[in-house]
Amino acid sequence: MSVFGKYVDYLAYHCDDCGATFLARLDPYKCKFCGSNNIDPAENKRVCSHCGKLMNDGYVFYDGEAYYCSDECLHQHFSEAEYIRAFNSDDAYWTEW
């Protein structure tokens, strides 16, 4: 498992045919739900590096190397003091997509 979580490098995708949004580690060639190949990266979604939840907002670390949906997921990998140090050095922040 990655130091940042087991869902590091996962991306969100959207199927234009069935409307589903799903996550995948590598570029998928078809939708996980309907099998269509009419898929694109999902805009305004990220994947929590710890739990795999699709996110509309959350913590960002190191220019997108890791994302966390909640304090609970964040603190599985970083203490509050580590987050504050990263935030103060512009290596971490909270945002909405």
**Domain of 16, in residue numbers:** 11-96
- Decide if 1 is inside a domain: no
Torsion, Cα of 75, 59, 48, 82 (10° steps): -30
User: CB of 42 within 8 A of CB of 12?
Assistant: yes
- Decide if 6 is inside a domain: no
Predicted pLDDT of residue 32: 94
pLDDT in tens, 29-79: 999 999 999 999 998 999 999 999 999 999 999 999 999 999 999 999 999
- Decide if 4 is inside a domain: no
**Given a cut of 70, is residue 1 above it in pLDDT?**
no
- Decide if 80 is inside a domain: yes
- Decide if 31 is inside a domain: yes
**Given a cut of 90, is residue 2 above it in pLDDT?**
no
Cβ contacts of residue 51 below 8 Å, gap of 6+?
5, 7, 69, 73
- Decide if 5 is inside a domain: no
Count of domains forming the chain = 1
| Token pair in block for residue 90 | 């512009």
Size of the chain, expressed as the number of residues it contains: 97
